[in-house]
């Protein structure tokens, strides 16, 4: 086994592996040394994201309808009903309304009513693009639908309005075998506040560009980190002395031929 002084090759290798770590100063040095590579990779990734986001990604259109969930006072059948009781009862119904409008029953009815205009609609596509939101302690439920694809602005408006209309129709008109309302708990409790008239167009370009910028930075830092960790050369005599535990007496500089420009 070869050794240098009193240090074996295995000991040297182990020590090199242990000391092959980056301090803050070394990180800054590596970044400065490879700043051009970082800028190029980040620029290319950001440019690619910009081209895709601004030139190729389809628009998406989102339309929203708001509804008010409020219990009918006469439904309780008691003279002692207070406004606060009705309010609390309405709050408890919010989750039921949110679940009901995303049910197969409502979505399938809306698809059936829209099949002549939009035959490509399916339960899965509608549900995946449907969102329902409600503020804390608010009786207002916002139903939104997003239609993806250029020129589908009116589709978003018609679908979300049809979903709300189908929900209200079903809760107020569906009866069981005894002629009683199947969804009596929700009947006459949902009303439309604002129907969707227009849709908001989004392309999502800013998000894509930001993601590509972050990917470019991460990729460039990953590349220079791998380069650094795989580099087994010594940068200066101090590093050589630290690994081999010996003193360097002298170094031979690189000489440049002023005529040919080649190192000797």
pLDDT digits (tens, 9 = 90+) for 205-237: 788 888 999 999 999 988 888 887 777 676 666
If one counts the domains in the chain, the total is 1
Are 59 and 201 spatial neighbours (Cβ–Cβ below 8 Å)?
yes
Percent of the chain predicted with pLDDT > 70: 75
Is 118 a domain residue? yes
Q: How far apart are CA 192 and CA 174, in angstroms?
A: 19
Q: How far apart are CA 241 and CA 12, in angstroms?
A: 11
The dihedral over CA atoms of 75, 80, 85, 89, expressed in degrees to the nearest 10, equals -20
Tell me the CA distances in angstroms from 56 to 48, 125, 208, 238, one per residue in order. 11, 22, 12, 54
Is 133 a domain residue? yes
Is 28 a domain residue? no
pTM of the model: 0.59
Q: How far apart are CA 86 and CA 76, in angstroms?
A: 9
pLDDT digits (tens, 9 = 90+) for 22-75: 577 777 777 888 889 889 999 999 898 888 877 767 778 899 999 998 875 555
Is 117 a domain residue? yes
Q: What is the DSSP letter of 23?
A: -
**What domain range is 197 assigned to?**
59-202
- Residue 256, beta-bridge partner list: 263
- Residue 201, beta-bridge partner list: 61
Count of helix runs (H) and strand runs (E) in the chain: 9, 7
Q: Which helix (H) or strand (E) holds 63?
A: strand 60-69
pLDDT digits (tens, 9 = 90+) for 76-90: 555 445 677 777 777
Q: How far apart are CA 49 and CA 30, in angstroms?
A: 27
Is 157 a domain residue? yes
Mean pLDDT to the nearest integer, 185-203? 84
Angle between helical axes of 153-173 and 83-101 (0-180°, round to 10): 120
Are 155 and 147 spatial neighbours (Cβ–Cβ below 8 Å)?
yes
Is 145 a domain residue? yes
Is 186 a domain residue? yes
Is 13 a domain residue? no
CATH number of domain containing 173: 3.30.70
- Residue 146, beta-bridge partner list: 62
Averaged pLDDT of the chain? 79
Estimate the share of the chain in helix, then strand, then coil, as percent rounded to the nearest 5.
Answer: 50, 15, 35
């Amino acid at each position: 086994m070869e050794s240098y002084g009193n240090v074996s090759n295995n000991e040297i290798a182990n020590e090199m592996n242990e000391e092959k770590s980056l301090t803050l100063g070394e990180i800054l040095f590596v970044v400065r040394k490879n700043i051009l590579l970082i800028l190029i990779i980040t620029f290319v990734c950001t440019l690619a994201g910009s081209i895709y986001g601004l030139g190729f990604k389809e628009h998406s259109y989102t339309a929203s309808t708001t509804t008010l969930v409020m219990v009918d006072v006469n439904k309780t059948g008691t003279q002692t009903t207070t406004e606060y009781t009705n309010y609390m009862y309405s709050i408890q119904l919010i989750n039921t309304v949110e679940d009901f409008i995303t049910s197969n029953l409502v979505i399938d009815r809306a698809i059936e009513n829209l099949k002549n205009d939009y035959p490509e609609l399916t339960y899965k596509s509608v549900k995946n693009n449907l969102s329902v939101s409600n503020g804390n302690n608010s009786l207002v439920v916002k139903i939104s639908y997003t239609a993806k694809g250029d020129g589908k602005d009116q589709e978003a408006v018609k679908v979300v309005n049809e979903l709300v209309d189908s929900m209200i129709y079903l809760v107020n008109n569906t009866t069981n075998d005894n002629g009683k309302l199947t969804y009596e708990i929700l009947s006459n409790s949902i009303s439309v506040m604002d129907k969707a008239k227009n849709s908001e167009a989004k392309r999502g370009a800013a998000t894509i560009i930001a993601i590509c910028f972050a990917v470019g930075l991460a990729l460039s830092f990953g590349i220079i980190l791998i380069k650094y960790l795989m580099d087994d050369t010594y940068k200066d005599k101090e590093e050589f002395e630290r690994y081999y535990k010996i003193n360097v007496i002298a170094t031979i500089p690189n000489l440049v031929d002023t005529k040919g420009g080649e190192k000797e």
